[in-house]
Every structure is written in structure tokens, then in C-alpha cells.
Amino acid sequence: MNSSRTARERVRAELTREIAEIARRHLATEGAVGLSLRAVAREMGMSSSAVYRYFPSKDDLLTTLIIDGYNALGRVVEQADAGCDRADHGGRWRAVCHAVRDWALAHPHEYALLYGSPVPGYQAPQDTVAPAMRDTIVFGRIVSEAHEAGALTVPAGPMGTGAAGVAEDMARVREQVMPGVPDAVAVRAVTAWTGVFGWIGFELFGQFNNVIEHRAALFDHSVAALGALIGLPRPVGESTA
Amino acid sequence: MNSSRTARERVRAELTREIAEIARRHLATEGAVGLSLRAVAREMGMSSSAVYRYFPSKDDLLTTLIIDGYNALGRVVEQADAGCDRADHGGRWRAVCHAVRDWALAHPHEYALLYGSPVPGYQAPQDTVAPAMRDTIVFGRIVSEAHEAGALTVPAGPMGTGAAGVAEDMARVREQVMPGVPDAVAVRAVTAWTGVFGWIGFELFGQFNNVIEHRAALFDHSVAALGALIGLPRPVGESTA
DNA sequence: CCCCTATGGGGAGCGCTGCTCTCGTTTGTT
DNA sequence: AACAAACGAGAGCAGCGCTCCCCATAGGGG
């Protein structure tokens, strides 16, 4: 009977989900390397070896957590973008940046797992690349639509990409996340995007300690500056910050 | 006698240095969490417990490696800056950025130890903060001198720092690394600086994989764009990249 | 000069980890 | 009812950080 076979599979799916959930809780408190399969097993009330029926290795468990993390971050970024006026490209950029930062502050260990130093010995499988692009896709769409709408203040003069390799890379960027955008804008978009994550990394990993304390306010300014770098319109009534 | 007492202390210092050196080699191949005191002891030909006479814990060993790492990075950054014409502030900025990236690519695990996600449970002692500032000080001096020389194209209009907290933070930045620089420039300098590290982090930690392959060339463009964000002069004969 | 104490070694051991193997039980299928 | 696949538990292996204890020895004080 189908329902009985499903019953077995359903309890399996449920246990798999429960293990991942407990693991995610441990990850939030202990970090990726502190995550212990045995501790998860204890909390599940099962033997440590039994957990290996569900996740063949700690790396597989980490992969699940990574994918979930990318999806969670992607979702909040998508929602942040969706909550904005579609024509307000500058506002969407700011909303997306703040969504990333807020999520990172709320889930520091998970963020570190996604954007921090990779766990040694861990090789990210192909399943992670699609979720990993969710936030970037949102960002790319903003730039793309801003460009299409003519809302982008493209800096004067041609870009002079120089090496042909950059053009190749930008073609890939265009194809995957930022259709229709010229090279010069795409380069700056990549710069701005990495800049946001660099900023958040500095904040999260302690580089700002004892120097920059009013992070939210400074983040606003950095996001505005990086947005201006892409050519996105500034918030109304703001001077050149 | 003094020399005999010194003899004992000298062999101790030598052994301490040797342990740290082997540990740094292991760090380069295995990463920080993969670094094993027992493995270092084996390679030293001594028992694992004996190593604890020199480093009371793995964290202390890591602290040494972190300090050494900051100093090594700081040195190459200082040398890169020193190799430039002092008046060519844009060139100095580019040289410093490339020095950071080159060192990071040459010592990825060490870089991750400095600027990646912190090792869980590890609390950086106060001894690390001074070495950690060496590269930032070089960067700040460039901006400071460029501003002093009037070489900085400060963006039109006041800045509108808004929150007073940002002004506080910028005062601290000014005092520690960037004397004489106005808030608007300091904010952009922080943005650019974190942007460089964000870029390098993306490259090093795999975020660019399968998308951006011609990293050196794109890094040039990003550095130029971030330099322009601060107002540093562009390389002669380059268009607005 | 001789003793004696601090210093630096080695070995054993504790509790933890990821992971494997085996063995018995349960569950769903034919 | 028989059988195979799935599942759980326990023991065990090798590794880890770290501690404790014991011993040799080197250096300094009487």
C-alpha cells in the first residue's frame, strides 16, 4: 500500500528534518566546527551511529545547513526587495543591503558558514550554487531594471575594460544575474556587492571592535556610497554622502 | 652566571620559535581548526604534553600565529607603499590593495585566520590589536597625506553624516589612522577599505567560482572604482572605469 | 663542592570527536 | 508466511585538547 510506504518515508523525512533543525540550533550557538553529530544524537535521544543513517557524514549535514542558510537569506532579501516600490531602485538597493546585514547579525554563525572562511576539508557540492545565488539574483535584477529604466547615472566615458577576460566575466555576470547591463556598470555592481559583504564581515568578525561602534548609521552611509558607485539614485533630500 | 641562564632561555626561545614555525606550516596546509598540537609535537619529535610547556593551550599558539600573520601582512603592505612615489597617492592605494591581495592568495589559511570567521571559542587577546592595525595605518596615511596635499577630489556638497554617532566613530578613525581627514572622506575610506577585503574574501572563499575567473584584472577595476570613491586620483591615461 | 629546587621532558589517561562494523529488530513487499 | 531492505544500538578505532604524575637534569645558593 502506498500510504504505508509513505509512512516510513515520512518518518524518515521528519527525522531528517528534526536532525537538521537541532543541528542548526547547535550551529547558532557553537559554530560550524563546534557542531557535534554526537551532541545532536544525544539531544535526539538516539545513538550517534544512528544519525549516520540520515546524514552519511558531518559534511553532508553541513551541506544541508548551508543550503538552508542560503535559502533563508535569499528569502529575506527577496522579501525586502518585494516590499519596495519597483521604480525606487535606490530604495530597493538599500533595502536589500539592510536585509543582508540584519540577517547576518541575527544569524552570525550561519552567515559565517556561508560567507566566512570555508570549513577546512569541506568541498561545497553543486547543490549549493543555486541557493547561493538567490540574493545575488535579487541584487542583479535591481541593477538590471534600474539600467533598463534609465535610472542609472552611468559614469561618463567608456570603461576601458582593458583585458578581454573581464568582458568574458561580465558577460557571464550579465547572463546569470544582470541582463542588459553594460560592462562598466556590471564591474561596479560586483564591486559594490562584494563591498557590502566585506563591510558586514568586518562588523561580524570583530574588525570594527573598539573603533566603529555606531555600525547601523555608518552602514547606511557605506550603502549609499556604494549605491552611488553603481549609479543608483540617492535617497531624496540627501546630500552627497 | 648570566650566559648560562641565558643559555637555558635561549634554547627555550628557539624551541618556542620552532614550534610556531611548524605550526604555521601546518596552518598553511590544514587550516586553523585542522591544526593539531599533537601533530606539531610529532614533527618536533617530542611528546604532545611537552609542547604545553611552551604554549599553554592551542589558543595561545593561535594567538602567536595571528600576531605573526598581521605583522607579515603589515610588512608587505608597508613595503608596497614604501616602493611608491610618495606624491602618487593613487598609485600607493593601488599598490597597497594589490599587496593585500597577493599576500592573501599566497597565504589563504593565514588570511582566513585574520579576516575570516573567527575560530569558535577563541577570544583575541589585546596583544593582537596593534599588529592588526599595521596595514590599516598604512592605508590611512595614504588617505591622510592625499587629503593634506589637496589631491583628493572630495565629492561636492557636505556629507550629512546624520547621526552624531558616526561623527564619534570618524573622530576615532581620524585619531588612530587618518589624521586631518574630514568625516565624509573617512566614511568613504572605511567603505573602500572594507570593500577591498570583501572582494578578496569573495575570491578566496569561493564566491567567485564559476562566475568570475579573471580575478586579477577585475580586481584592478574594483580597486580603481573604490579609489575613485575616496577621491583618489586615477592612474594617468585611464578612462572612468 | 654539593645539595636542592625549578625546569623541561615522557607516559598514561580522561573525555570528547567523526566514523565504521556488526548484530539484532522492525517494517514493508512479494 | 517468507524475505529483503531499512533502521537502531553498541562496541570500537583513531584522533583530538588537555591534565596529572613521575623522572632526569641543569643551575644557583649554602
A218 → closest Cβ in B109, B166, B202: B166
pLDDT at B108: 97
Would the CB atoms of A156 and B194 count as touching at under 8 Å? no
Q: For the segment B130-157, what is each residue's pLDDT rounded down to a tens digit?
A: 999 999 999 999 999 999 999 998 765 4
Q: How far is the CA of B123 from the C1' of C8 (A)?
A: 28
Question: In this complex, how many residue pairs, one in chain A and one in chain B, have their CB atoms less than 8 Å apart?
Answer: 202
φ and ψ at residue B35, rounded to 5 degrees = -65, 125
What mean pLDDT comes out for the span B119-134? 90
pLDDT at A236: 67
Q: Which helix (H) or strand (E) holds A93?
A: helix A89-106
Q: How far apart are the first and last CA of chain B?
A: 67
pLDDT at B1: 41
Q: State the average pLDDT for chain B.
A: 92
Of the candidates A226, A142, A153, A126, which has an alpha carbon nearest to the alpha carbon of residue A177?
A142
Cell numbers 557571464 label which residue?
A: A172
Q: For the segment B55-73, what is each residue's pLDDT rounded down to a tens digit?
A: 999 999 999 999 999 999 9
DSSP state string for A171-197: HHHHHHT-TT--HHHHHHHHHHHHHHH
Q: What is the pLDDT along chain A (241 residues), one digit of tens a residue?
A: 444 456 788 899 999 999 999 999 999 999 999 999 999 999 999 999 999 999 999 999 999 999 999 999 999 999 999 999 999 999 999 999 999 999 999 999 999 999 999 887 788 889 999 999 999 999 999 999 999 999 998 765 445 556 788 999 999 999 999 999 999 999 999 999 999 999 999 999 999 999 999 999 999 999 999 999 999 988 765 554 4
Q: Which nucleotides of C are covered by protein (CB under 7 A)?
A: 7-13, 16-22, 27-29
Place B121 in a pLDDT band, splitting at 50, 70 and 90: confident
Query: Whole-prediction pTM value?
Result: 0.94
Would the CB atoms of A221 and B173 count as touching at under 8 Å? no
Q: Nearest-CA residue of chain B relative to A192?
A: B195
Q: For the segment B212-235, what is each residue's pLDDT rounded down to a tens digit?
A: 999 999 999 999 999 999 999 887
pLDDT at B238: 55
pLDDT at B5: 57
Of the candidates A80, A75, A67, A76, which has an alpha carbon nearest to the alpha carbon of residue A114?
A67
| Alpha helices in chain B, H assignment, sequence order | 2-30, 37-44, 48-51, 58-82, 89-106, 108-115, 129-132, 134-148, 164-176, 183-204, 215-230
Contact A159, A185 (CB under 8 A): no
pLDDT at B64: 97
Contact B227, B90 (CB under 8 A): yes
Q: How many residues does chain A have?
A: 241
ipTM: 0.94
Place B123 in a pLDDT band, splitting at 50, 70 and 90: confident
Of the candidates A173, A42, A175, A199, which has an alpha carbon nearest to the alpha carbon of residue A105?
A199
Of the candidates B143, B213, B219, B220, which has an alpha carbon nearest to the alpha carbon of residue B185?
B143
Q: Report the nucleotide nearest the CA of residue B56, measured to C1'.
A: D18
Query: In the structure grid, which three cell numbers stand for residue B4, read together?
Result: 648560562
Distance from CA of A44 to the nearest CA of B (A): 24
Residue to substitute from A166, A174, A203, A209, interface B, most B β-carbons within 10 A: A166
pLDDT at B203: 98
CA dihedral defined by A139, A231, B220, B228, rounded to 10 degrees?
A: -140
pLDDT at B235: 75
Q: Nearest-CA residue of chain A relative to B204?
A: A117
Q: How many residues does chain B have?
A: 241
pLDDT at B155: 67
Under CATH, which number does the domain A65-230 receive? 1.10.357.10
pLDDT at B9: 83
Which residues from chain B sit within 8 angstroms of residue A241, using beta carbons?
A: 159-162, 184, 187
Per-domain boundaries in chain B: 1-56, 65-230
Task: Decide yes or no: CATH 1.10.10 for domain B1-56.
Answer: yes
Amino acid found at B241: A
Of the candidates A101, A33, A106, which has an alpha carbon nearest to the alpha carbon of residue B117?
A33
Q: Which helix (H) or strand (E) holds A72?
A: helix A58-82
Residue B17: CB less than 7 A from any atom in strand D: no
Which residues from chain B sit within 8 angstroms of residue A212, using beta carbons?
A: 169, 172-173, 190
Of the candidates A64, A190, A161, which has an alpha carbon nearest to the alpha carbon of residue B198?
A190
pLDDT at A119: 84
Q: Rounded CA gap, A39 and A30, in Å?
A: 11
Q: In this predicted structure, which of A26-40, A58-72, B112-126, B176-190 has the lowest mean pLDDT?
A: B112-126
Which residues from chain A sit within 8 angstroms of residue B187, using beta carbons?
A: 218, 221-222, 225, 241
Buried b (16+ CB within 10 A) or exposed e, A194-222: bbbbbbbbbbbbebbeebbebbebbbbbb
Q: Rounded CA gap, B147 and B168, in Å?
A: 20
What is the DSSP secondary structure assignment for residue A159, as one 8-state letter?
A: -
